[in-house]
Every structure is written in C-alpha cells, then in structure tokens.
Amino acid sequence: MRVSACITVFMLFLILIVCSCPLKGQGLSFLRVDGQRVVNVKNDEVLLGGFNLGNWLLVEPWMLKLSIDGIQTGRDIFDLFEKRFGEEKAMSIYMTYVENYITEQDIRYLSGLGVNFIRVPFWYRAVFDLKYTRKEMHYLDKVIGWCRKYGIYVLLDMHSAPGGQTTDIGILGERLRNELWTKEENIQLLIQMWQKIAGRYKDESIVAGYDILNEASGAPGYETMIQVYDRIYRAIRVIDRKHIIVIEDGLKGISRLPRPSDMGWNNVLYSFHFYPTFGGPDNMEEIKAASQVFLPSVRAAADFFNMPFHVGECNSMSMAKGGVEYLDRYIRIFREYGWPWNIWSYKRIDDNDEDRWGLVGRLKEWPVPDLNTMTFEEARDLFKSFNSSQVGSNPVYEAMIRAYFKDLKDFKRPDYLLPDKLVLVPQNGYLIRAKSYDGLRIEWNRKKANYGFWNKGDSVLWKINIKKAGMYKVVLDYATDAPEARLSLILDHYRYKELVLPRTRAGWEDYRKNVEGYLSLEPGEHFLKITGKSPDNGIMNLRCVELVYEGKDIPAGQASLRLSPGSDEEIVLTPCDVTRINRKKSLSVEWQNNPPNFGYMSGWESFEWDICLLNESDYALAFNFSTPQQGIIFEIYVNGGIFKSVKAPSTGDWHNYLLNEPGKVKLRKGKNTIKFVALSGYDENTGNFRDVRLKKK
C-alpha cells in the first residue's frame, strides 16, 4: 500500500511534537462512584473523556475498509490467510497487525491532546487464547503500562464474550451464534475470565474499571441479562472491591436497568451508546433534539439512579449528522453532567473526508486490496502499514479534541447546593413537554444553558432536598420578549403563584433576576415545578431558579411577598415525583419519552405516591394509560385500602394514551398514599402508564 508522502510527513511531524510532551502518569489514584460524581481518593471529581481503541484487539473489517465478499469478521480475514499460507504465517500477519495498529506512540499522542480516559474493547480470544496472544492478558498489560506512563485511565471492555452475546457478528470478532445465554459453560468461562482479569489488576489504579459485557442485545429476555450481569458482578467483587464495574443497557434502553440499591450493587456505572439518528435521516432538527431533549431526558434517569452515566460509545459519524461541531457539543454536555465518555473510535482507515468515525487513519486514497491474491509478504506489509506513523489524522477533529481538553483544565462543574442557596438549572431539572414533538428544550449554545421554546403545559420539575427549615427567597433568572409571559409556580403539587413576567429590555438575551416571593420550606425532599401557561413557543428563556435561605422569617418589609398554597384544584402525579416503585421483575421508568412513563410492567408490580393535603376533600381520580393488549387490570389503593379494580381498554398502540376515569375518592387532610398495582398475564408487556390526575370536586 502506498500512502501520500505529505500525510506521512505531517503525521511524523505530529509525533515529534507529541514526543516532546512530558510524562504525566504520576500517581493517578483509584476512582470510585460517589452519588452523581466520579471521584478520586481525595474525593475530587474527575471528569473523564477520550476514545475507544476500537478495531485493535477485536478486528472489525469495516474499520479497515475490508468488508469484501466473504469477510464479515476479523477472524474471517485470518482464517482466509491460514487457509492460504498456513497457521504460522497467518498468525504472523495477525501479530504484525496487533503490534502496529496501536502502539505506545498512539497513547503518547492521545496524552498530548489532553485525553485522560480510553476504553479498550477486546475479543476474549485476543486476551486468553494463546493462538491470538503471546500470553494471557499480554496486550492488556502493554496498554495499561503505556497508559500508566502517560497518565490515561483505562476501561477494560469485554467486547466479545465466549459464545457471543449478540447476533451482530461484526462486533464479535468471529462468527459466534449468540450462545452465551444458552450454554452455561460459556457463562462460566466468561466469569472465570473476569476473575482472572480482576485478580491481575485489582491493585492497578490506572484501571478505571471493568465494562463487563458490550451490547448484550442478544439476551433472550431482560431478566436473563440482569441475572448474568449480577453473576459477573458478584464474581468480580469476591476478588476486587476497589474498581468501578460498568454495566451496559444491552441496547435495551438505560432506563430499563434496575436501581443499583435494589440489586445490592456498589461502585457501578451504567453505560449506554449514543449515535444520534444512526441509520435514520440526516435531519438537523432530529440532531438538535438529541442534545436539547433526549440527553436531558436520559439525565433524569441518572438522577433517579443517583449516579453519573457512562457514554461508552458516541459519534456524530458524518458531516450530514452534525460532524465535529455536534460531537463537540455532545461531549461538552456530558461534561456538564459529569458523565465519562468514549468516542468510537480513535482510529479508522478511511479515504472519505465527509466521514468522522476516526480521529486517525486518514488516507488520500484507498484502493481496496485483494486478500485472495496477495502474497504473504504483501499481506504482512499491508497490516504493518496501518501503523499510525503511516496514516494521517483529521486536523479539524484533532483541533476540537485539543480545545476541549484545554478548556477542561479550567472547568469545574458548579456546586448547585450551596450552604444558603440552591441553584436549580437545566443541568439538574426534569424536562416535561406537553407536546412530545415540539416545544421545551435546553439551549446549550449560550453563555449559560437555558430552557427555551416553552409551550403551554410544558414544565420543568426540580427535586430538591432542604436541609434547614425557614424562609427561602425565590429568584428567577430569565429573559423574555413575549408581550405576556405567564407561568405557574407549583410546590409539592400545590400551585403557589401565577407569574406574569415583565418583558426584558432587549428581549430574549437580556436576562434579569426577579424576586418572585418567599416560600416556607421544611427539611426533607420537595418538588418545585414551573409550568408554562402562555403563549406557545415564546414564554421565556429560563437560566435558573434560585432558592436563597433568608432565615426563619421574611425580611422586614417583604411580608407581602410571602407565598402560600393557593390551589390544589388539579394534582398531577408523574414518574418524576413518584415516592416508591415496587419492582419485582422488569418495571421501569422510560425517561427518554416526553413526558416519561412507567413501562415494562409485569404482574404485581406497583408504584405509589405520597401527597400531603391541607384539607380533606373529594377528588375525581383518573389516569392516562396506553396498551395494545386486552384484559389489563389495575388495582388502585388509597391509604392502604382498595379503592377500585379497573379494567383498562386496549388503545391499539403502546403510546396512544387514553384517560381512564375510575371515579370519586375522598382524600384526608395530611398525608395520603395512592398506589397502582398491575394485574396482567403479559410478561413485561402490560402497557405504558403516564400519570394520575386528581381533580377537586
């Protein structure tokens, strides 16, 4: 293969520059998960980000532009060479590839860009089968040693498990049959491999953690997947209690995973893969929605689980899907949330300048070689030529990564829970849209993020934890050019105030802070909600709501600004403010939907709310539910006693919601508990439950 001389010189120049960088792998400590932060031993938050070393210890032919007739997996390539040249020469070609595709120079280059975190996907044979490695864990040892030298944390990713965990053979390295789940010996072998890895690296602080199973989409059922995860988790914990264990959603949706506390899992990260509009239309509105609506909705799940999420793979893939500009936007959002991330992938051989799959691997042209006719020497030279010194990088992509990590040095996530002030911002609110296809979103491309494009009925809800009893000043930081911006302030299901915001002098970007009143708050958990009233698509841009502690009483002269509960005419109970979820098998909240809903219900699973009323009153109770199934029954309990048993009709579709109206219920003064229990013969497929509505009679 001939490579453009200018690219070669450019790449060598880069390597010379990077090689002058000082070593920085000095004393990186163990990491752990602490609530919604990843922290070091000093309890300082560590914001992790970087790349996957994809296509190295698990060859994916498409990443070498070698997906040709009969070649679908990496092993297909080397089986072809074994058939043509014999095993010894075929393995010589394979070892030439592995020892050239990623080298110490690549890790030094990444370190020079500022990267502090890499994910290492591996084919189990490349780590444990002596045909494909010099000794067990040899190449893991090498990359961990390089990363220790240059100060980059490593996540070890079981990308291909014995028997195969998916039907997608392209990511398995060989033609496996999704038999991890059906053959106990494969599960046992996987567990033994993880115990060997844990035993070898349990005292290695440069290892951030273990990603125990990549994209387990072939699991025959959700419950089976969780059971296998639990067995691997517990086997590792027998040996290693220090490292983070990363648990992927199996491409089933991260909201479906159980709460770690319910499983007895500690020091875990949940992980999902994020490819906006992958396989879909190149539609900029969808691409914008991925950052402005989808990611904030997923963040609500992180709040529910009380952990940061790990974005194990992400990319904007091509210019048509947002390119480098949107990839930069995504990783900066991950930083705002404190989520570790790994772009797929560091390196891909490509000659298409519209593509953004690889930071490194650019060729001016790439005539696809004929693996069936080349000689052994030509094959060996071909696979040696994939060394990074012989291919180019994407300069725009590189500049973006370098700028991100330069900015990271001065970036610190704000502390929104100050001793005498709570700052409620887009980074920690629940976004609830009245119209799933339009309206409320987060505008990140501002000096400070804001909620904009409000429709009537759109809401933002914050879950707050009050430490000190007393009076709190409510301050809105907003801008508006609307002639009459109207919204409601709701606390713990009561409307406290109807707000009419005065127009700001210079419109939508002219922010001001208005004091809206004073709330009396008791210690404990509360829900504060802002709901848009009018007009559609133009109420305000809201940066934050501040709750400022003022002491036990309202400041002198401010008595007229005391906010008191005004109306409980209609109380809406949603997954955002649920008190308890009683999950026996698969019940979860689908946070990615707008608004979110309970889904995947099995029989006898339930959810319940506690609400506190100022007076006894009668309410008409109703609930929004959708299902294509027949014969779905809910038992509704109020304050421990059964209120009604309701048969919900089929709505013909999973998200065609119908308001069911069981009737009138008397609720007492003080605390009330409302509980819904699903009675169904459908395993995980009862329907979707959106909300409960209580309207005062």
Specify burial of residue 359 (Cβ count, 10 A radius: 0-12, 13-18, 19+): buried
Task: Indicate the pLDDT class of residue 277, thresholds 50, 70 and 90.
Answer: confident
**Within 10 A of 431 (CB to CB), how many other CB atoms are there?**
26
Task: Determine the pLDDT at residue 26.
Answer: 55
Task: Determine the pLDDT at residue 151.
Answer: 98
Task: Determine the pLDDT at residue 16.
Answer: 40
Task: Indicate the pLDDT class of residue 17, thresholds 50, 70 and 90.
Answer: very low
Of the candidates 483, 479, 471, 645, the one whose C-alpha atom is nearest the C-alpha of residue 562 is: 471
Mean pLDDT over 423-447 rounds to: 90
Q: Which residues pair with 544 in a beta bridge?
A: 477
Instruction: Give 139-169 pLDDT, tens digit per residue.
Output: 999 999 999 999 999 999 999 999 999 999 9
**pLDDT beyond 70 at 4:** no
Mean pLDDT over 309-323 rounds to: 93
Prior bond to 345 cis, omega within 30?
A: yes
Mean pLDDT over 284-300 rounds to: 91
Q: Which fold has domain 417-567?
A: Jelly Rolls (2.60.120)
Cβ neighbors of 656 (< 8 A, separation 6 or more) are: 626
**pLDDT beyond 60 at 15:** no
Q: Quick one: DSSP state of residue 318?
A: B
Percent of the chain with pLDDT over 70: 96
Cα separation of 89 and 376, whole Å? 7
Instruction: Give 545-602 pLDDT, tens digit per residue.
Output: 999 999 999 999 999 999 999 998 999 999 999 999 999 888 999 998 888 999 999 8
Q: Would you say 36 and 270 are in contact if contact means Cβ atoms under 8 Å apart?
A: no
Distances (CA, A) of 232 to 141, 195, 503, 510: 22, 9, 58, 54
Question: Computed over its alpha carbons, how large is the radius of gyration of the chain?
Answer: 28
Task: Indicate the pLDDT class of residue 536, thresholds 50, 70 and 90.
Answer: confident
Mean pLDDT over 391-416 rounds to: 95
Q: Would you say 443 and 471 are in contact if contact means Cβ atoms under 8 Å apart?
A: no
Cβ neighbors of 104 (< 8 A, separation 6 or more) are: 146, 149
Task: Determine the pLDDT at residue 284.
Answer: 83
Mean pLDDT over 638-653 rounds to: 96
Mean pLDDT over 485-508 rounds to: 93
Averaged pLDDT score across all residues of the chain: 93
- Please provide the CATH number assigned to the domain covering 572-696: 2.60.120.260
Mean pLDDT over 192-196 rounds to: 98
How are beta strands 49-52 and 117-123 bridged, if at all?
parallel
Cα separation of 81 and 178, whole Å? 25
Task: Determine the pLDDT at residue 24.
Answer: 57
Task: Determine the pLDDT at residue 13.
Answer: 36
Would you state the CATH architecture of domain 5-59+103-342+387-408?
Alpha-Beta Barrel (3.20)
Domain boundaries, the chain: 5-59+103-342+387-408, 417-567, 572-696
Mean pLDDT over 463-483 rounds to: 95
**pLDDT beyond 90 at 665:** yes
Token pair belonging to 609: 């709310």
Task: Determine the pLDDT at residue 9.
Answer: 36
- Topology match between the domains 5-59+103-342+387-408 and 417-567: no
